[in-house]
Structure 1
Amino acid sequence: MRDMSFQRARTDEQRGERRRQILATAAAMLIEVPVADLTLTALSRRVCLAKANVLRYFESREAVLLALLEAEIADWIADLEPVAASNGSVRERGDRLAELLATSLARRPVLCDLISAQATVLERNISAETALQHKRAVHGHLGMLVRLAGRHLPELGDEDAAALMQTVMLVAVAAWPGSRPPQAVLDAYAADPALAVMCVDFTEVVRRAVEVTASGLLARES
């Protein structure tokens, strides 16, 4: 691949394209390695830029990954938006929403990996300006998710729909790493099958969390 370090982006369009190239490369790398193993050095090599040139567009590795997280959430929402609200009882619609959210998240391992590392890793080496931009972007995405939940379960109202979606994201944060145990833990499960009950099924945990949370929120309003 040609070294792009000798082709400085001079226009806003060129700088935007360079940012997109960096983000696309990071996304491809996260299919191969977890967030913890993606280094700025490896990313710069893969995108054929000097590390200093990557830092022209993002202030740190964490800033790259936060921007990628924002893009991944936007893509997830874009996939959810065309899904029509179903008919049926409140419980039936709630269960179908739970299935939709759980299965769609499970199909997006890069998004789940980034979400699970957001608070503990990705927000630890950024400026206040980057944090502000990121939180504003996430807040906007949350608003879209709230409206989506309300379309499927209008009985919730905005406040409870927001509580539901916040619960979904928090459960995903905990369930994703739990569903990807290291080899030593897998070996322990294999050695003692009785311990396998501790293995986390990501899709099932998220689905059940949405079902129970939605039911509980609706019951409080009745």
Structure 2
Amino acid sequence: MSNPSPYLRARSPEQKEERRRHLLDTAKFLLLQMPDVHALGINELARQAQMTKSNVYRYFESSEAVLLEVLVEEFMAWRSELVKALNRGGKRRGTIEHIAWAFTTTWVARPLLCRLTSIFPSILERNVSTERVVQFKQGLLAVRQETAIDFHRCIPSIPASTFDRFIHLALPLLIGLWPLASPGEVSAVVIARPDLAPLRYRFEQDLEEGMLMLLRSLSRG
């Protein structure tokens, strides 16, 4: 993690981008160590980044705004890995089974993406300006549309619009499944009981199964 020298006020666009980048890198570093993403506040971010709190507010209006920006970068990194996975697969390449597998494995490989996605509609889109939410939504829509085209290239017989619908319906599953498969301490003990086994969720296995069920249903038209 880069650490610019203790801070004179940034003047040039290059210096401002360096400060912003340093804050995002610091936030990611902290988030990967925190069991609870809610624990990242502006005070802690400023301390770890060796900046004043007022300086942090020059770049981000709230901790939620920081987390939204991290989430956008996680989405973009995920799509890059997804494209690579789609180009692998041997005999399964070009099948909906391969798409479900590629989607799931690349998503599961990014736990920070999983954690932030699970809270973005309920928490991250609060305490931020309308302008920032519009920017986030536009970025999310662009990733979704580009990913639908990636899937269409793999299976040209299925329209990109169908894959766009698939991603639209997959998002609630992604949001809801992560907390269900990652219960708190008390809930984890409770569902470990044999009689409550049907209530357990296995994130990777259940996600891939859900993706495949959606794809099969939509591909039948």
TM-score when normalising by structure 1? 0.90
Offset from partner CA, 1:97-127 (integer Å, 9 cap, x none) = 1111111111101011111111100101111
Gaps of 5+ in 1: none
CA-CA distance at 1:156 after TM superposition:
2.2
- Could you tell me which residue of structure 1 aligns to residue 139 of structure 2? 137
SS state of the match for residue 32, structure 1?
Answer: coil
- Could you tell me which residue of structure 1 aligns to residue 8 of structure 2? 7
SS state of the match for residue 156, structure 1?
Answer: coil
- Could you tell me which residue of structure 2 aligns to residue 179 of structure 1? 181
In structure 1, C-alpha distance between the alignment counterparts of 2:63 and 2:3, rounded to whole Å: 22
- Could you tell me which residue of structure 1 aligns to residue 41 of structure 2? 39
- Could you tell me which residue of structure 2 aligns to residue 123 of structure 1? 125
SS state of the match for residue 95, structure 2?
Answer: helix
- Could you tell me which residue of structure 2 aligns to residue 214 of structure 1? 215
CA-CA distance at 1:187 after TM superposition:
1.5
CA contact (8 A) 1:172 1:206 kept: yes
Gaps of 5+ in 2: none
CA-CA distance at 1:10 after TM superposition:
1.2
- Could you tell me which residue of structure 1 aligns to residue 111 of structure 2? 109
- 1:36 maps to amino acid: H
Alignment of 1:59 onto 2:77: no
Corresponding pairs, count:
218
Q: Select the structure that is richer in helix.
A: 1
**Closer, same or farther: CA 6–204 of 1 in aligned 2, 3 Å:** same
Most deviating of 32-41 and 176-185: 32-41
**Closer, same or farther: CA 102–2 of 1 in aligned 2, 3 Å:** closer
Identity score, percent: 28
In structure 2, C-alpha distance between the alignment counterparts of 1:155 and 1:210, rounded to whole Å: 18
In structure 2, C-alpha distance between the alignment counterparts of 1:58 and 1:5, rounded to whole Å: 19
In structure 1, C-alpha distance between the alignment counterparts of 2:65 and 2:104, rounded to whole Å: 27
User: What root-mean-square deviation, in Å, do the aligned CA atoms of Structure 1 and Structure 2 show?
Assistant: 2.1
CA-CA distance at 1:24 after TM superposition:
1.1
CA-CA distance at 1:89 after TM superposition:
7.9
CA-CA distance at 1:41 after TM superposition:
1.4
- Could you tell me which residue of structure 2 aligns to residue 21 of structure 1? 22
* Larger RCO: 1 or 2 (CA < 8 Å, sep 6+): 1
In structure 2, C-alpha distance between the alignment counterparts of 1:63 and 1:46, rounded to whole Å: 17
Most deviating of 173-182 and 143-152: 143-152
Write out aligned runs for 1:139-178 (5 A). Answer: 139-178=141-180
- 1:12 maps to amino acid: P
**Closer, same or farther: CA 14–51 of 1 in aligned 2, 3 Å:** same
